[in-house]
Each structure stands twice: as C-alpha cells, then as structure tokens.
Amino acid sequence: MGEDYNLWENFKKGKDYAVSEIYDRHVDFLFNYGKKFTADEDIVLDTIQDIFFDLIRNRKNLGSTDNIRLYLLKTFRRKLIRALEKNKKYGVMPDFQEEISPDISFSIEEQMIQDEESAQKIKLITEALHQLNQRQREILYYKFTCGFDYPEICELMSISYDTARQLVSRTIQSLKKSLPSKLAPLLFICLSKKR
C-alpha cells in the first residue's frame, strides 16, 4: 500500500502525528481551493476546521483511502457548499450566483517571461480560458492542476466516467480551436501549474 494509505490508517488508529501530518500537507491546498468558491476567508477557514474536527471525532468509523487529498477535497467541497447555501438562504450573501461552484482561473503570468511577445501569448491563453464555462474550467483544474484521474474527478463532480472524459476532451478541443497551434504546448504547461 502507498504512503497515503499508511498515513490514513495511522490516523484512524489515533496516532497524533498523523493528524498533524495530514493537516500540514493539505491545509493550504484546501484553503486555496475554498477561495475559488468565495472570498470570505472566515467561511473557508471554519469549514476546514469543521472537517478536521469531524475527522478526529469520527476517525474510528472512517473507511480506508489511498488518496487523502481527494478524500479531504470531497468532504471539504460538500461542507463548503452547504455553508455557502446556508448563508445565501439567510441573505448573508445577497449577490451570490445561482449555482455554487468554484471560480477556477489559471495563473499563467508566472509561466512566461515578461516581454512583448509573451504578453501577447498570455493574453491569447487568458482569453481562451475565460471563454470556457465554470464547469469546463473546474474539470481542467482537477485534471491538470490537481492531477486527479477520471474516477477521482467523477467522484468529486458527481458525473459519469464517460461524461468526464467527454467534457475534458471537448474542452481541450475548444481551447485548441481558439488558440494558434504553437500555443497548445504552452497551454498545458500553464494548466499543470500546481497551486
């Protein structure tokens, strides 16, 4: 079994180092992911605190996993959406969009040298990415930035395997059509940038 599996099993057995290790490895990722849903850092931090509290409280009843990040992300996403819907319902977030989903964007400025030609490439790639809908940006984020495979993406987005593959394929085709062919390799470097 892998490192994640062993760490998770030690966490379930109550070994104190394991919860700290899991938290340290994933808290920044969860925080950055939560900020894609809302600018309210307090809700994001409260949700992170809630999932770790629940994990510690229920550790003996948890199933096994060999991908802790995916496990945490699924739990975090579900809890954060519930918290945002609750705030929306009570009017705390009056300007919130109808469907709660992450606002995925890709930081490509860091990928290129800041000269005139690079600025033009950045502009073309950024425009192409902004033309995608939220669902397309979300699936590319999971596939390329997070490095999740299709079964993990399906589990996270609650879609079928075929739908996930088709959505990724169609989104990539759409991007390729809207970009000059020489920018396609650069696009994938930008998408694969770890956050």
CB neighbours of residue 64 within 10 Å: 11
pLDDT digits (tens, 9 = 90+) for 22-44: 998 999 999 988 888 888 888 99
pLDDT digits (tens, 9 = 90+) for 68-105: 999 999 999 999 988 888 877 555 444 444 455 666 55
Position with higher pLDDT, 184 vs 84: 84
Q: Tell whether the model's pLDDT for residue 151 goes beyond 90.
A: yes
To the nearest 10°, report the CA torsion of 62, 71, 149, 173: 140
167: confidence class by pLDDT, cuts 50, 70, 90: very high
Q: Tell whether the model's pLDDT for residue 166 goes beyond 80.
A: yes
pLDDT of residue 187: 65
The letter for the amino acid at 27 is V
Element (H, E) at 185: helix 184-191
pLDDT of residue 112: 47
Burial of 190 (0-12, 13-18, 19+ CB in 10 A): buried
Q: How far apart are CA 110 and CA 122, in angstroms?
A: 10
Q: How far apart are CA 132 and CA 117, in angstroms?
A: 24
Q: 87-91 contacts: CB < 8 A, separation 24 or more?
A: 87/43
Question: What's the pTM?
Answer: 0.59
Q: Which of 71-85, 99-113, 142-156, 159-173 has the lowest mean pLDDT?
A: 99-113
Q: What is the mean pLDDT of the chain?
A: 80
- What phi, psi does 120 have (nearest 5°)? -65, -40
pLDDT of residue 195: 41
